[in-house]
Amino acid sequence: MALGVKSRRVLARLLQAVPTIFGILVVCFLLTRALPGDPAAYFAGDMADEASIEQVRKNLGLDQPMPMQFVTYVGDLLQGDLGVAISTGQTVAQELAKRLPASLELTLAALLLSLVIAIPLGVLAATRPNSWVDHLCRFLVTAGVSLPTFFTGLALLYVFYYLLGWAPPPMGRLDMMFLAPETVTGFYTIDSLIAGDWALFKASLAQMALPVITLALFTLAPIARMTRAAMLQTLASDYVRTARAAGLSSRRVLIDYAFRNALLPVVTTLGMVFSFVLGANVLVEKVFAWPGIGSFAVEALVVSDYAAVQGFVLSMALLFVSLNLLIDLIYTLIDPRVSEEE
Amino acid sequence: MNRRNFLKGATTLSVGASLIPLSQLLPSSALAASNETAVVVIGGTINSLDIHRSGTNRTSYQVAINCYDRLVSFGTKQMPDGSLSYDYDNVQPEMAESWEVNEDGTVMTFKIREGATFWDGKPVTAHDVKWSLDRAVSLGGFPTVQMKAGRLESTEQFKALDDRTFQITLPFASKLALPDLATPIPIIINSQVAKANATTEDPWATEYLHRNPAGSGAFKVSRWNAGEQLVYERNDNWACGPLPSYQRVILREVPAQSTRRALIERGSVTASQDIPNKDAKELAKKDGIKVVSTPIENCIYSLCTNVDFEPFKDKRVRQAIAWSIPYEKIFEQAAYSQGMPMWGGTDEVTSIDWPQKSPYELNLEKARELLAQTDYKDGFEVPLSFNLSVADWAEPTALLIQQGLAQIGITATIEKIPGANWRTIALVEKKLPLHLENFGGWLNTPDYYFFWAYIKGNLFNSYNYDNPEMTKLIEETLDMAVTDPAYTPNVKRMIEIAFEDIPRIPLWQPTLNVAFKEGVEGYEYWFHRQMDIRPLKPA
């Protein structure tokens, strides 16, 4: 029965997302059209004359009135056709299928790395206020939020590639010598493991190292700070005091009572961090020549490539809807109160 | 046999290939030797392998250059600094082994090279040439406009007389026709492959050729990961020139300029295409790196004064502006002294070299004096616009011009226009009063430059300049042979008018800068500004 309640709630959440996504479609459609600039003139090329611009406009379907364009767009969308990104010459679906995993691989690896560092750091800082751990935490948090990612990226690149030569040439997801593994997940690290190719796994990991550290430095700050604050709060709470008074082991108090309750705001923060790290990706992708979704979207926006921008926004919308859902589900796992409602 | 030779052998022989793990494009030893593989980094992105497709960007033109042949090409000349450049005045055979032009210059007959084949082994015939040129004039957009520049406008002008004889009929003789055939546009496509992949909606197989080049050129595309890299593999059966030295060229897209610079400085790559002036200046001093800077032919970075804007209707105001620009400072701070100064020339036009120095220089007294004679002696306000995608030189230039104008009482406010809008606002609608412009003509004659930039309505006349004498001169001269006795006086007169009326104030002639690993030879500058990898030789 509990499962029934849960899956019903998941379904309800998914249904709630439908109007949101439709709204995003409409707004995005209108906003791209409101961008200054004439894509037909741009894509017709520098030397094109009036007739050829008109021809390109017709090819792009931009000679139609706007409501017609929208109907065509939604119709194509329902058939799974996202259109062609003229700026890159590929279909939007192809671009997303290739670039989204590239960005996600980077983002998720960075989040994982920052979680592994930030949560223990935050917990330690909270249990030992004003000790050296706390100061280290404070330093990392301040550095993390105040250093722009492109700067951290360039600085790391300068030290570890240019000066020391430890990192491989920052030329994208794989060194020139390697071919991409067969696509299963689109994550090169995972796909190379599935293919059982260790050399390839190491090569893709090496390319990821610097961008991941760059992003992790950036994401570490909010997570560590939130962990520390939440831990301080729970450690000062009545139930922890009660648990201590009841003579429970300090380990049990810390992990089962304080930490589990402190996790809730941390998970919420994680969702937020994930969303803005996808945005921060753009700069890191540029510096490390990473063929990700961020640089694709920015380029498309600059040249008013409507189909590409719309495809990007749509995929991001879907991503966030599922992310929020996932976070809600995680809540029910860690917070007993949420799962017992109804 | 030493180790190096063994490794070299191993990569060329298929026996060697089977030893390489599947996931590796080539063994690491081959890269280390780098005598067979070149790695070139570019900032742009290749968005199509078909130059005729609408939307194909400039960076992608290099596929047409390296993978396809044209009927003719240009020879090579040595520049004063010892570097190499294509030679506009020397048209050479490419797919045509010879050609004849009839007496009145309207019929050109080309003999197709014997034994030339496409990559799939099919012989190249005049029918392929006919199909390919028909395609270029029919698809519309940039290819059609470029073909038109050479007076090649309709499919009726092209005839395949037999398998090896191809004929072009021109409406009238033009000196632009033959050089236009050597631009990247009139490539020869394997029409059999293309037709097999054409559909009724897409008779010219644009969807197929977009991803699958079908040519006869020196390199094939062995791999294209859009947005990441393009790998060229040599065509060992290339018939139209000496076999390229590199077996394989990997073109990597690295958007961040600073990253590209780090890569070339560390020696991770063979070449970095189109580097900014600042880097060119600094990298040239480093060991292990060779920078080749070539002035871009028929191109001038200019300040344009739109005559639709009331004060600029008065010629003296335009001249006053030309006298108030701190040229020297701009050249140092915006161009990092790379390029050719285009100011401080003689009062009289003595040659028809183009670009050439204008008679203007920084002379505030003259500027104030001229302005004082006009209705605008108390100055006026004007927006000064530039294209954000060329901000590396345009921004410092605009700031210095702003300072110069302030000295004579003109208040300029700087307006940055995003690259995507630039074309529409500046070139099509032509409504920017004062702006920076960087037009360069592919065909290298002054009259061709004047055609695009000084006839009302033409694209790069972004300042609505209209002078009947100029228009008449250009129209008379454009197709005239350079040996015609009227040619030199006509061009001289055009230059005189351009400097007297000065709607377009020349600042400097820019350079195309390419950085190479020390020892890489054979690089040649081309008007299309893309890397021709065919003549490159490893260190």
What tokens were used for A285? 């992708």
What tokens were used for B434? 């004062």
User: What's the confidence (pLDDT) of residue A197?
Assistant: 87
Domain limits, chain A: 37-81, 98-340
**C-alpha radius of gyration, chain B, whole number:** 25
Beta carbons of B266 and A38 less than 8 Å apart? no
Number of H helices, E strands in chain B: 19, 20
Q: Using alpha carbons, list the distances in angstroms from residue B169 to A141, B36, B99.
A: 73, 43, 13
Q: From first to last of the 539 residues of chain B, give the pLDDT tens digit.
A: 444 444 443 343 333 333 444 455 555 544 444 678 999 999 989 999 999 988 788 899 999 999 999 999 999 999 998 999 999 999 999 999 999 999 999 999 999 999 999 999 999 999 999 999 999 999 887 898 899 999 999 999 999 999 999 999 999 999 999 999 999 999 999 999 999 999 998 999 999 999 999 999 999 999 998 888 999 999 999 999 999 999 999 999 998 889 999 999 999 999 999 899 999 999 999 999 999 999 999 999 999 999 999 999 999 999 999 999 999 999 999 999 999 999 999 999 999 999 999 999 999 999 999 999 999 989 999 999 999 889 989 999 999 999 999 999 999 999 999 877 888 889 888 999 999 999 998 999 999 999 999 999 888 999 999 999 999 999 999 999 999 999 999 999 999 999 999 999 999 999 999 999 998 999 999 999 999 999 999 98
What tokens were used for A259? 């930490």
Of B30, B31, B61, B32, nearest to B47 by C-alpha is B61
Angle, helices A92-127/A132-146, rounded to nearest 10 degrees: 150
- Which string of DSSP letters, residue by residue, matches B294-316? EEPTTB-EEEEE-TTSGGGGSHH
Beta carbons of B142 and A89 less than 8 Å apart? no
3-state secondary structure of A125: helix
Q: Which residue has the higher pLDDT, A299 or B272?
A: B272
What tokens were used for A272? 């937020």
Question: What is the rounded distance in angstroms from the CA atom of residue B268 to the CA atom of residue B237?
Answer: 30
Q: Does domain A98-340 have CATH number 1.10.3720.10?
A: yes
H or E element that contains B412: strand B411-417
Give the list of residues 6+ apart from residue B136 with CB closer than 8 angstroms, or none. Answer: B52, B143, B144, B146, B147, B152, B185, B186, B187
B-chain residues near A193 (CB < 8 A): none
Q: Within an 8 Å CB–CB cutoff, is residue B71 touching chain A?
A: no
Question: What is the rounded distance in angstroms from the CA atom of residue A67 to the CA atom of residue A29?
Answer: 10
> How many contacts, defined by CB atoms under 8 Å, are there between A and B?
168
Beta carbons of A176 and B145 less than 8 Å apart? no
CA angle in degrees (0–180, nearest 5) for B74-B75-B79: 115
Which residue is associated with the tokens 């849960």?
Answer: A6
State how far residue B523 is from chain A, nearest Cα, in angstroms.
23
Beta carbons of B228 and A172 less than 8 Å apart? yes
Q: Are strands B37-42 and A84-85 parallel, antiparallel or unpaired?
A: unpaired
Question: What is the rounded distance in angstroms from the CA atom of residue B122 to the CA atom of residue B434?
Answer: 55
Q: Within an 8 Å CB–CB cutoff, is residue B281 touching chain A?
A: no
Burial (0-12, 13-18, 19+ Cβ within 10 Å), B76:
middle
Contact by Cβ (8 Å): B304, B434: yes
ipTM: 0.82
Q: CB B296: neighbour CB atoms within 10 A?
A: 20
Beta carbons of B252 and A304 less than 8 Å apart? no
Helix residue ranges per DSSP H, A38-196: 39-44, 50-60, 66-78, 92-127, 132-146, 149-156, 188-194
Local confidence band at A183 (pLDDT 50, 70, 90 cut-offs): confident
Write down the pTM of the prediction.
0.86
Query: Best of A177, A191, A286, A312 to disrupt the B interface by mutation (most B CBs within 10 Å)?
Result: A177
- Which string of DSSP letters, residue by residue, matches B73-95? EEEEEE-TTS-EEEEEEEEEESS
Beta carbons of B142 and A44 less than 8 Å apart? yes
